[in-house]
Structure 1
């Protein structure tokens, strides 16, 4: 692992187009060799886009493998490049939607789905505002220490363990009205989840976005991280209207509906290799 980190440290010295060219080569290998992950991605696309042809699904997963390799090779840039380079690489659009709420004394949850540019864009945003985030520990201690150090490299992040309570998150949010960077769009199991549509298929989706917004009396502001060529864009949208409501299921479906529209804008950049439909309603067969 130390050797891999050393290679990432060296790769950061290269121009980003060169890093992405290497990622393209690795992406082809991953598509060919990582058969199980490729199968997961193809199942996800079949469930989400039943009208898409099998050939189109394979092309999309191949492109996604390249995007995932870009994410992997970009970690050196994320962890060790200068703030000046991050500012040059990442454009933030709509920051006023966030700053206006903070200046008005409101707490904010940033709905931050799993797009492949999420790491570098989160760090770029952290140059502008402090952030609260939830962290899941890695099994490898060296990698775990590097992730933790990298995500707090500007000493401007409040990192809460996933094992801690909601109270810890809300307490951190209320310190200087610090936005909570929240990624609730994966399958976290049946606990605190409801089954709502994600594209064409029911998906177990946690209700945390609505619940935490209600408890914290916070506004929900979507933030979407994407690559555009050899640069990145973080689009911060206006706060969601009428969110949260008094209906957890309706709120959770509204979250997925917003996410679906953003995915359609750049489908190859969403995390398709995650087992999004692993949790099934009682009596339904497994999909993977």
Structure 2
């Protein structure tokens, strides 16, 4: 009972926050991020480890600045969810701009199944909101342990249009069927899901367990892969979703090469905004046989 009460209080606070001016929300989120950086030792250490492994050429001070900026933007992204859940569409359309929308519409008008490959940058939820205000999509949802937040997040993801959410247990057949019916699939394949359906390929020159789903799903559905990256504006409130050019020659006969290509794309995107990738995730948790743990 106590946990449900505190969860409802947290939701009420988020609802109140959405009435604040965007600049005030950004400032408050930045402050929360600074507190998380100072007090959240476990996630700070994960972030520091990831940055040390991925950017060995940078000094410790440079990596520390990236880590602090990451937590500041993470705090902002957390509070911005209140805007996504309760602000009106006209406001959100001004908060989250989109580039390349015509590329996606052209593919869908041609009747092609589409996978929107969306790496885990902090603007991921904002990009999802921009899409569901314009398209009926299919995406995968993991149930949250907290039922109150689970309901809130589900409602937020289905707030606009006619969205189709699948659990990880639904398998790929339902996803393929939805894509072939004209729904682009918002796909997030760049986290450590363990050894199952994964291969070890380089990510910042580190052998990294990476799921092969992008290649396998594109082949099974006959789908075109379109990169989809959302950038937070670091100096002011707002986001920009960029829908890139469809990938040529993908998938190939070599699933491992396809998966290396996916990781290389993410590396290039990170280079343009290193503080915005989801560094608090234990991306290198699963190791090749015989290698010691990293975290």
Q: TM-score range by the shorter chain?
A: over 0.9
Q: Does 1:244 align with 2:248?
A: no
Q: Does 1:193 align with 2:198?
A: yes
TM-score, structure 2 length as denominator? 0.96
Name the SS of the counterpart of 2:289 in structure 1: coil
Give the corresponding residue for 2:20.
14
- Cα deviation for residue 155 of structure 1 reads 3.8
**Any runs of at least 4 consecutive aligned residues in structure 1 with deviations exceeding 2 A, and if so which?**
none
- Cα deviation for residue 35 of structure 1 reads 0.7
Give the corresponding residue for 2:3.
none
Name the CA distance, whole Å, in 2 between partners of 1:235 and 1:94.
Answer: 6
Asked if structure 2 preserves the Cα contact closer than 8 Å seen for 1:50 and 1:200, the reply is no
Asked if structure 2 preserves the Cα contact closer than 8 Å seen for 1:49 and 1:200, the reply is no
Name the CA distance, whole Å, in 2 between partners of 1:205 and 1:107.
Answer: 23
Count of paired positions: 287
Give the corresponding residue for 1:27.
33
- Cα deviation for residue 96 of structure 1 reads 1.3
TM-score, structure 1 length as denominator? 0.98
Name the CA distance, whole Å, in 2 between partners of 1:6 and 1:76.
Answer: 10
Give ranges in structure 2 of 5+ residues lacking alignment.
1-6
Asked if structure 1 preserves the Cα contact closer than 8 Å seen for 2:135 and 2:161, the reply is no
Give the corresponding residue for 2:241.
234
- Cα deviation for residue 93 of structure 1 reads 0.3
Name the SS of the counterpart of 2:192 in structure 1: coil
- The CA deviation string for residues 157-205 of structure 1, in whole angstroms up to 9 with x for no partner, is 1100111111011112122x11000000110100000011111211100
Name the CA distance, whole Å, in 2 between partners of 1:245 and 1:35.
Answer: 42
Give ranges in structure 1 of 5+ residues lacking alignment.
none
1:1-288 alignment to 2 at 5 Å? 1-175=7-181, 177-228=182-233, 229-288=236-295
Name the CA distance, whole Å, in 2 between partners of 1:16 and 1:115.
Answer: 20
What value does the CA root-mean-square deviation take over the aligned residues? 0.9
- Cα deviation for residue 16 of structure 1 reads 1.2
Name the CA distance, whole Å, in 1 between partners of 2:31 and 2:97.
Answer: 27
Name the CA distance, whole Å, in 1 between partners of 2:193 and 2:224.
Answer: 23
